[in-house]
Amino acid sequence: MFTFGALLLGAIAAFVVGLSKTGLPGSALIAVPMLAVVFEGRLITGATLPILIVADLFAVGWYRKHTRWDVLRSIAAWIALGYGFGIAFFLAIGAASGVLEATIGVIVLAIVGLQAWRMWRGAPDSGGLDRGGGTTAASFGTIGGFTTFVANAAGPVINTYLIRLGLPKHELIGTSAWLYFVVNLSKIPFYVALGAWSAGGPFFTVDSLLFDLAMVPAIVAGVFGGRALFHRIPQRAFAVVVLALSAAGAVKLLV
């Protein structure tokens, strides 16, 4: 069903997803372009989701004590609004060939640009929370909701918002862990309904779910690796590599 190369590429993507959930936030961005080499159309989004959820389980279990529930409440409604735009997008494009791949490519490139700009500008010092007003939560929440629904690529958007608030490292991981876990679980019924009742095909197939099942060992290795490297790996150097590879994958989707 899948070539050795496809399984290897998927395992690398799954390993990086695990790393991103427990030690290197934002690095999972690379998983979507990598899985787009194996799958096409809605299956790119659908095949990525179970990998994210398995990794989320570990992150929630390990970092749940560091969750900032007040931050989650401030952004939840705006993420739901982003979902609405995502549903409208899938209904609008239907079965149009290549539109979803191109959209994911644009989203990933835009997020890569955002991450690169943030790194160049420098992250704010941790300290007291400063949400920047309701407009900030609304913009980041809505964009994050749309990007996660369409491409499972909201990590850098949400992480940028959490860093803007001045959350310490452990609170950023703990807060994002619960956020992504709930968000990713909530997407399942929407994807099933859209796959059954709209043009464009399913998000999940037996083959895609078997592929995800085969990726579990790589996910587990990634989450334990991320936890072990949480205080050791030079995150900036790793982030540069992830951004470069993500940009290359996004360009491939576009062309």
The helices-and-strands tally (H runs, E runs) of the chain is: 11, 0
pLDDT value of residue 131 = 46
Q: Which of 157, 111, 151, 107 is nearest to 137 (CA)?
A: 157
CA distance 248 to 183: 27
Cβ atoms of 158 and 140 closer than 8 Å: yes
CA distance 148 to 145: 5
Over residues 235-244, the mean pLDDT reads: 64
If pLDDT is split at 50, 70 and 90, which confidence band does 226 have? Answer: confident
Report the chain's mean pLDDT, rounded to a whole number.
Answer: 82
Block residue for tokens 């979902």: 83
pLDDT tens readout for residues 115-135: 788 777 765 443 444 444 577
pLDDT value of residue 238 = 58
pLDDT value of residue 239 = 62
pLDDT value of residue 152 = 85
If pLDDT is split at 50, 70 and 90, which confidence band does 230 have? Answer: low
Write down the pTM of the prediction.
Answer: 0.82
pLDDT value of residue 135 = 78
Cβ atoms of 82 and 149 closer than 8 Å: yes
pLDDT tens readout for residues 163-191: 777 777 778 778 888 988 999 999 999 99
The dihedral over CA atoms of 36, 37, 43, 46, expressed in degrees to the nearest 10, equals -60
DSSP structural state of residue 2: -
Furthest C-alpha separation in the chain: 52
- Enclosing domain of residue 75: 4-254
Percent of residues in the chain assigned helix, strand, coil, to nearest 5: 80, 0, 20
The total domain count for the chain is: 1
